[in-house]
Chains A and B, each alone.
Chain A
Amino acid sequence: MSVVLILEQSLNGLQFGLMLFLLAAGLTLVFGIMDMINLAHGSIYMIGAFLAATLVAATGSFALGVVLAIPATAAIGMLLEVSILRRLYARDHMSQVLATFALILICNEAVRIIWGSDMALGTPAALSGPIELMPGLFYPAYRLLVIGVGLTVAILLYFIVAKTRIGMRVRAGASNREMAAAMGVDIKLLFTLVFGFGAALCAVAGAMLGPIFAVQVGMGDNILILAFVVIVIGGIGSIRGALIGSVLVGFVDTFGRAFLPALLREILPPQIASAAGTALASILIYVLMAAVLFWKPQGLFPARG
C-alpha cells in the first residue's frame, strides 16, 4: 500500500463523509426535535438532484443551477412538512415509518412522471480534469470542489447551530422539546424552518453527488439508510454526532472497500479472500453501527442527557 493510495482514499472517504453529513444533519434535527422518523428525506435528496439537473440545463451554468435548486428544494420540503408531515408528529413511530414510506413511493413515481427515470448532470467542464496534488497523486478537480463545498457548509452549519439565536432554539428543541416550548419558542414555526433547512442541505448533497453517482429515480433509497446509520452512530439529535458519524462512516466504508480484500488476501486463500473481502467491506458500516449501539445504545453523542 502506497502513501499516495492511502491519501487518495482518505480524500474519497472525506468527500463521501461530508456529503453524508449534509443529509444526516437535516435528518438528525428532524429526528431529534420532533422525534419523527422521516424516510422521505432521501426523496427530497432525489428531488433536489433532479431540480438541480433541470436548472443547470436551463441556465447553462452549473453554479447558478445548483444555487437556484437549493431554495426550490427547501420550498418543496416546507410544503411537504406543512401539508403532510406535521400531522405525524403526535403519532407512533410505525405510523411515521409507513406514512413516509408511502411518500417515498409517491415521490419516486411523481419524479418518474415529471422527469422520467433519470437525467443527465455532468461535471462542469472547467472541473472535469484531475489536479496533481502532490507528485503522483492526481485527484479529480470536481471531487475537490465537493470536499470544499462540504467543508464550507459544515462550518456554516456549525456556526449557525452553535452561535446564533435560532441555532440555540434548535438545540433547545432537540434536547427538550416541551421545555423549549414552555420557554416561548414557537416550535411549530421553528420546525418548518428546520425542515426547509434540511431540505436545502439535501439539495446541496443531491446536486453535488449527481455527477458522481447518477441522477435517477430511487437514488435516495440507499443513501437514506446510510444517513440513518450515521445519525444512530452519532446520537439522534446531535449535529456534532452527525458530523463525526458521517466522517467515520465515510472513512470506514471507503477504506473497507479499498483495502479489506487486499488485507484478507494476505491471510486467506485468494478465492475466499476476494469474496469475503467484498462481503465484509459492504457490511462493515452496519457492523460498526451494531457495535456502537451495543456499547452505547444512545449513540456516541446523545443529545438528550
Chain B
Amino acid sequence: MQRAATFILLLAALALPLIMRAFDLDYYTSFASRVMIFALAAGSLNLILGYAGMISFGHAAFVGVGTYTAGVMIIEGVPSALIGWPLAMLIAGLLALAIGAMSLRTRGVYFIMITLAFAQMIYYLTNSMKAYGGDEGLSLPGRSTLPLLDLKDDTSFYYVVLAILCVSMLLLSRLVASRFGRVIVAIRENEPRMEAIGYPTRRYKLVCFVIAGAFGGLAGALLANHGNYINPSILHWTQSGNLMIMVVLGGVGYRYGGLIGALTLLGLEEFIANHKVEWMADLWPKYQQHSLLGVGIILLVIVLYAPRGIAGWFDRSPRG
C-alpha cells in the first residue's frame, strides 16, 4: 500500500514539469523545486528533532552555510556542482560537528538556547561578510554547472533536485531503519538507560547532528542555485523556526514529515498570496497581504490539538 503510494507519487513528480509545460504553467516547476529543497532541509531537521529528540533551534545555520558555500564557489569561479555541493555538505557538517560537540554538553532548554546562540553567531558573521554583500546579500552570476545537464533550465534543475531529494530521503530512511537509527530512537526514549547499557550516547547524538547538518547544507546549496542569490536572511533565527514549523506540521518523526510540512506550508503561503478566493475577499478585501496570520493560526491549532502533525492523521498505530 505504502509502496504503491510512493510509486504513484514518484511518477507524478516525474511527470509534473511536462504537465506544467503543456499548460504553460512553468512557474510551478520552479515552485515545486523550492518545495523539494525545503523538504530536504526540513527532512534533515526531522532526523534530529523527530528521531533523536534533540530540539535544535539553529538549523538555519547549516542551510545558510550551505547557501553561502555554494554561492561563494560560483562567485569565485568554481561553478562545478560536483565540487561546490559536496563542499557545502562538508562545511555544514564540520560546522555541525563543532556546534554539536559544544551544545550536546547541555540538555533541555539550554540545548535549545545554545544552538540558537550559535546560529545567531553564524548569522551575524555572514552579515559582516562585506566581500559577499554584507547584510544585503549578493546576486549570483549563474547557477552551478553539471556535466551533460544545463541547470540554468528550470526543468533540468527540477529533475536534479528531485533526484537529490529521492536519494537523500532514501538514505535518511535507511539510516533511521538501521541499527544506528534504533539506537538514536532508544536514546530519545530513555537516555540514561542506553548509557547504562554501555552506548556512548553523546557520540551517537553528535553523529546524528552532523549528518543532519550536512544534509541541511546540501539543501542550502540547492537553495542558492534556485534563487540565484545569497542573503543572510536565510540564516535568521525565524528561518530555523520556519523549518521547525514544517517538521511539526508534517509530522515529527515520520518519514515524510518534512516533505508534507514543506508542501503544506509553502503551498498554503503560495495559495493565499497568489489566488484570490472571492468569498474571502468579499469578507476581508486585504486578506491576501496577511497570509502569515492564517499560517500562525493554523500552526497554533496544530500544535494545540494535533501534535502529531498531518502524517499523524493517517497513522493509526501508537507512536513508535
Chain A interfacial positions (CB closer than 8 Å to B): 31, 35, 37, 39, 84, 87-88, 91, 93-95, 97-99, 101-106, 108-110, 112-113, 221, 225, 228-229, 232, 236, 275, 278-279, 282-283, 286-287, 289-290, 293-294, 297-298
Contact = CB atoms under 8 A, between A and B. Distances in A.
Contacts of A35: 109
B120 A109 contact: no
20 contacts: A39-B241, A93-B112, A95-B307, A97-B55, A97-B57, A98-B299, A98-B303, A99-B299, A105-B299, A112-B290, A225-B120, A236-B109, A275-B130, A279-B127, A279-B129, A283-B120, A290-B102, A293-B105, A294-B102, A297-B106
Contact of A286 (B121, B290, B292): B121
Given A94-B55, A99-B300, A282-B127, A287 B292 contact: no
A30 B248 CA distance: 24
Given A113-B290, A294-B105, A102 B296 contact: yes
Interface of B: 49, 55, 57, 102, 105-106, 108-110, 112-114, 116-118, 120-121, 124-125, 127-130, 237-238, 241, 244-245, 248, 252, 286, 290, 292-293, 295-297, 299-300, 303-304, 307
Given A290-B117, A293-B106, A95 B296 contact: no
A98 B125 CA distance: 26
Contacts of B238: 104, 221
Nearest to B108: A93
Contacts of A221: 237-238
Contacts of B295: 102, 105
Nearest to A101: B241
A232 B245 contact: no
A105 B296 contact: yes
9 residue pairs, one from A and one from B, having the closest CB atoms: A105-B296, A279-B128, A109-B293, A106-B296, A102-B299, A282-B124, A102-B300, A283-B121, A99-B303
Given A105-B293, A109-B290, A99 B125 contact: no
Contacts of B109: 31, 35, 37, 93, 236
Contacts of A229: 113, 117
B49 A98 contact: no
Nearest to A87: B304
A98 B244 contact: yes
A94 B110 contact: no
Contacts of A98: 241, 244-245, 248, 299, 303
Contacts of B121: 283, 286-287
Nearest to A84: B300
Contacts of B113: 228-229, 232, 289, 293
Given A93-B108, A94-B55, 5 more contacts: A103-B296, A221-B237, A225-B116, A286-B118, A286-B120
A93 B241 CA distance: 13
Contacts of A236: 109
Contacts of A93: 55, 108-109, 112
